[in-house]
Chains A and B, each alone.
Chain A
Amino acid sequence: MNLAGKGRDLAADTRPWRDPSAEPFLRISALTKRFDDFTAVDAVSLDIFRGELFCLLGGSGCGKSTLLRMLAGFEEPTAGSIVLDGRPMQGVPPHRRPTNMMFQSYALFPHMKVERNIAYGLAREGVGRAEQAARVAEMLRLVKLERFATRKPHQLSGGQRQRVALARALVKRPKLLLLDEPLGALDKKLREETQFELIRIQETLGITFIVVTHDQDEAMTIATRIGVMHEGHIVQIGEPREIYETPVNRFVADFIGSVNLIEARVDAAAPDAMRVITDDLGPVIVPPMAGLRAGQQVWLALRPESIRLGRGPAPEPGRNHLQAVVEEVGYVGHASTYRLRAASGRLLVASSPNRLHDEDPITWDERVHASFAPAAVRVLTE
């Protein structure tokens, strides 16, 4: 269920990252973390604005968790700086930072009841008993766990524990909430529901969230902006739509969603279009791109939903065409994915929504005619 399009529809003026004069709430500069001979985070620089729900997205070992732990204060950076709301975080221990963390394992204190778990951070601040009780009750209402206040963690389900962990971190009203794979331990259905809960809570409280996740669907759903990480670097930062439609390189294109990556060589350029030669599909017309030499190697990123399939021989002008045979059909209910074998032997993936009660859907071993608009192709130089 790709909600990248619907996603977070905010009016332009609530997207401060688009305003070059806006002051970032969190500024990370050249942050580096080395463990002996292994560099986990390599000179990462990042600006995050107040009220964002920012996702750090990447596979295992890309450094996203280490980055998060440096923000929380559990790791000392080897180099670089973190400035939160104007205050440098150098040498500030975790219990004195205005950040709070929601742990992957939830880390609920097993010997304390839910209400004492949530109140723990307030007690450390010296908040009075009456106010503690009031704020705890408010949080329990927010996460819809009022009836569970006197239970102990081992008496709660996974989803309930997750909400307690969230409430415990939020009750202190931190400037920055750090979430480490918050939905990782939940099953699929629960995860989907909780994603929207998370967004609702964040918008209600207006707290800046940084979420670390390896699940790209999750990142696309909840994030205001995503930072894709790979081997200690941030590869691309942008809104979900940007990341999906205009990936900056092959890694990002391949990491998010599915994509057809086709090697090509630049042939000729015109002001409104460019022609490239591919081994697999012959000549292809693509949008023009500045700064390319003739003969330069590029890659074409083509999303499956951009490929239209048809039976008739009637080619439409202005589109790229090819003949192919349908090798596999994957029916997912609302859509189908097709694995196509082109004449050159190259495999392409196409997908299109299904029409209900289709009497004659495209099926295996059919010879079809595939086409895609030049504008749907994203040209990548790396």
Chain B
Amino acid sequence: MRRGWTLTILAGFGFVFLYAPILSLVVYSFNDSRLVTVWAGFSTRWYAALFTDRAILNAAWVSLQIGVVSATLATALGTLAALVLTRFGRFTGRLLLTGMATAPLVMPEVITGLSLLLLFVSMELTLGWPAGRGMTTVIIAHTTFCMAFVTVIVASRLRDMDESLEEAARDLGAGPVRVFFDVTLPVIAPALVAGWLLAFTLSLDDLVIASFVSGPGASTLPIVVFSKVRLGVSPDINALATIIIAVVAVAVAIAGWQMTRAARRRRQGR
């Protein structure tokens, strides 16, 4: 298993490339000056500024709500789609469903955003719903594109899973619905959690689609951040970034610790 120094150096360069900007974000969030050029001393004033900024706080709250609802809907729909694609064999429209369920993974966001907006406008004209754009339309849009990611993750788990578990349940007298809730669901639960978290992150992070389909009063956090950032560097945004990074780092650390613990348990528990 010779890795050699070239590989380590190349990989190392890659990791530095990945993390240098993040580190600089964090470092300059504590800079007492507005300018990136000059280090004026350690200060947490930008964090204070952040917490008094109404626009950002409101937007954060809106984004959180949208994120939770979209993630939950996306997980439910994505799991159904994954079930259908891995367990339901052939049926008319299978190819169509496969295409629709996985295309959003790579579809450019401007296309998704614009087309959904035009749909909402047309629907409003003909059906009267949705009445204007706002949180509802953003939720629908986010659910639709996040669903694809959940489908891929859950489908992968369903394929890897030992199907004889489901057959054993059927053999012992459980009907199809019972089998799903008693056996399938508990076994794929980690994939559902991963899917939910991914959908939540994608929703929280989405700028383009939200810009198209959102409306007054439903500005999401990325929309607010983007409008600030277009004008140049703004240290309170650095502070926001650092907070987000810290939260994510803690969450990932916990997840990692859980994973290594489970793996160690599995290695011993044989």
Residues of B within 8 A of A40 (CB): none
B172 touches A100 (CB 8 A): yes
User: Is B54 in the interface zone, CB < 8 Å from A?
Assistant: no
Q: Which 9 A-B pairs have the closest CB atoms?
A: A124-B173, A121-B172, A107-B168, A107-B164, A111-B186, A94-B170, A103-B164, A95-B173, A101-B171
**Within the assembled complex, what's the spacing in Å between the Cα atoms of A73 and B162?**
18
- Say yes or no: is A105 at the interface (Cβ < 8 Å to chain B): yes
Q: How far is the CB of B170 from chain A (nearest CB, A)?
A: 4
Indicate whether B225 reaches chain A with its CB closer than 8 angstroms.
no
> Which of B169, B171, B178, B266 has its CB near the most chain A CB atoms (within 10 A)?
B171
Pick from A105, A109, A121: contact of B183, CB under 8 Å: A109
**Contact residues in B for A107 (Cβ distance below 8 Å):** 162, 164-165, 167-168
Interface set of B (CB-CB < 8 Å, partner A): 162, 164-165, 167-175, 178, 182-183, 186-187, 266, 269-270
Q: Smallest Cβ distance from B199 to chain A, in angstroms?
A: 24
- Per DSSP, are chain A's interface residues mostly helix, strand or loop, or mixed? mixed
A275 to B234, CA, bound (A): 106
A123 vs chain B, min Cβ distance (A): 8
CB-contact partner of A101 in B162, B168, B183, under 8 A? B168
A110 touches B164 (CB 8 A): no
- Is A93 on the interface with B (CB-CB < 8 A)? yes
List residues of chain B with CB within 8 A of the CB of A103: 164, 167-168
Q: Which of B165, B173, B175, B266 has the most CB of A within 10 A?
A: B173
Chain A, interface size: which category?
20 to 34
Q: Is A154 an interface residue (CB 8 A)?
A: yes
Q: B172 contacts which of A95, A105, A154 (Cβ < 8 Å)? A: A95
A108: B residues at CB distance < 8 A:
168
User: A197 to B178, alpha carbons, bound, how many Å?
Assistant: 33
Q: How far is the CA of A172 from the CA of B168 in the complex (A)?
A: 13
Report yes or no: B186 in contact with A100, Cβ–Cβ below 8 A. no
- Given A109-B183, A110-B187, A111-B187, does the pair A95, B168 have CB atoms closer than 8 Å? no
Check A154–B269 contact: CB distance below 8 A: yes
Specify which chain B residues have a CB less than 8 angstroms from the CB of A111 in the assembled complex: 186-187
Chain A 97-118 interface mask (CB, 8 Å, partner B; 1/0): 0011101110111110000000
A122: min CB distance to chain B, Å: 9
B99 → chain A, closest Cβ, in Å?
A: 25
Q: A105-B162, A124-B172 are in contact. Are A74 and B183 (CB under 8 A)?
A: no
Contact present for A100 and B178 (CB under 8 Å): no
Q: Which B residues touch A369, using CB under 8 A?
A: none
A130 to chain B, nearest CB (A): 19
Nearest Cβ distance between residue B225 and chain A, in whole angstroms? 42
Q: Is the CB of B167 within 8 A of A74?
A: yes
Instruction: Report if A155 contacts B (CB, 8 A).
Output: yes
- Contact check: which of B167, B172, B175 meets A120 at CB < 8 Å? B172
Q: Which residue of B lies closest to A153 (CB)?
A: B269
Q: A121 CA to B167 CA in the complex, in Å?
A: 12
Chain B's closest residue to A118 (CB) is B172
Q: Chain B residues with Cβ under 8 A from A74's Cβ?
A: 167, 170
Across the interface, which residues of B come within 8 angstroms of A96, CB to CB? 173
Distance to closest chain B CB from A177 (angstroms): 11
Question: What are 20 pairs between A and B in contact, CB < 8 Å?
Answer: A74-B170, A93-B170, A94-B167, A94-B170, A95-B173, A95-B175, A100-B171, A103-B164, A103-B168, A105-B164, A107-B162, A107-B167, A107-B168, A109-B169, A111-B186, A120-B169, A120-B172, A154-B269, A168-B172, A172-B173
Residues of B within 8 A of A72 (CB): 171
CB-CB under 8 A from B270, the residues of chain A are 154
Asked whether any CB of chain B lies closer than 8 Å to the CB of A125, the reply is yes
- In Å, the complex CA distance between A111 and B270 comes to 15
Q: How far is B163's CA from A107's CA once the two chains are assembled, in angstroms?
A: 8
